[in-house]
Amino acid sequence: MGSRLRGNDSTGLTRAFLPGDCPMSESPLIALAGVTKIFGAGAASMQALRGVNLTINAGEFVAIMGPSGSGKSTCMNILGCLDTPSSGSYRFKGVDVGALERDQRARLRRHYLGFVFQGYNLLSRTSALENVELPLIYRGAPANERHARAERALAAVGLGGWADHTPSELSGGQQQRVAIARAIVTEPAVLLADEPTGNLDSARGREIMELLTTFNRDQGITIVMVTHEPDMAAYARRVVRFFDGVVASDEQRTAQALAEPA
């Protein structure tokens, strides 16, 4: 892939990923500039992103909408540092993600990002508590701290008494709440949610959205959420619409509109 390297010194990058480092106030949390993504090569190649410009500041709650094939999932993968742009730049806290090695991106995810997926993606046959503890294990947290934080996170999503249950013993809504607990247990800078309510009925979906709203409001966690349900997008304060690999519209919702979701 043609990710453009900027000659960053690697020690500086490594330092930037240490936990607890303070964000550089002058740069936005997320800045995409002219990002393209091309899959495949030659005649069979497919251009998923055709120059996306997007800036997201700390504390925002952004919904990304758009028809399937519009590039929103590809964009989420790049935002989540799971993939790198073919060209253009993605700066996370001022750091050029495209120039990072695979393991450096993994460390960035570990310390700054939380993921919630449409299909929950919990470890099967593993208790809710152990699922929530998982990211803390990779952070090297001691066992007692892990337990305490995981239990607090479960309580925060309203599953205080369900710690010992495995995913197969939980309903879809409960499983997604475990997934949210797993995403927020590390107190990430950004929570990336890929159609978090896609597998749930609207009542369960609203519960999930209210949870996300709470974490955004109370803990200041930046949330970027892909959805194609307008009801769910209505919880966000900003809606970005993708069409054909570019940002087609980007609207801030007013405080009044937020007060009474559509």
Partner 1 sequence: MLWNALLLALRELRRNVMRSFLTILGIVIGVAAVITMVTIGGGATLQVTQQVASLGSNLLMIRTGQRMGPGGGGGGVAFRLADADAIARDVGALAGVAASASQNQTAIVGNESWSTQVTGVDNQFFVVRNWSVASGRQFIDSELRAGKAVCVIGATVRAKLFGAAEPLGNNLRLQKLSCQVIGVLEAKGQSTMGSDQDDLVLLPLRTFQRRISGNQDVRLIQVSVQEGASTEKAQADIERLLRERRHIAGSKEDDFNVMDMKEITRMLTGTTQVLTALLGAVAAVSLLVGGIGIMNIMLVSVTERTREIGIRLAIGAVEREVLTQFLVEAVVLSSFGGVIGIALAIAGSWGLTVYLEVPYVLNPAIIVIAFLFSAAVGVIFGYFPARKAARLDPIEALRHE
CB of 247 to partner 1, least distance (A): 21
User: Could you tell me the CA-to-CA distances from 146 to 19, 79, 153, 188, 212 in Å, in that order?
Assistant: 16, 27, 10, 15, 22
Does 113 contact partner 1 by CB under 8 A? Answer: yes
**Treating both helix axes as pointing N-terminal to C-terminal, what angle do 128-139 and 102-112 enclose, rounded to 10 degrees?**
120
Q: Which two tokens stand for residue 13?
A: 């990058």
Q: How far is the CB of 178 from partner 1 (least distance, A)?
A: 12
Please report which helix (H) or strand (E) contains residue 39, including its range. Answer: strand 30-39
Nearer to partner 1, 13 or 258 (CB): 13
Closer residue to partner 1 in complex, CB, 55/73:
73
Residues 140-199 that bind partner 1 (CB under 8 A): 140, 182
Contact residue for partner 1 among 46, 123, 155, 257 (CB under 8 A): 123
58-77 binders of partner 1 (CB under 8 A): 77
Q: Is the distance from CB of 120 to CB of 174 less than 8 angstroms? A: no
Name the minimum Å distance from CB 237 to partner 1: 26
CB of 253 to partner 1, least distance (A): 29
Cα gap 231→254, rounded to integer Å: 16
Query: What would you report as the CA-atom Rg of the chain, rounded to the nearest whole angstrom?
Result: 18
Name the site residues for partner 1 (rule: CB under 8 A). Answer: 77, 80, 82-83, 102-103, 106-111, 113, 115, 117, 121-125, 134-135, 137-140, 182
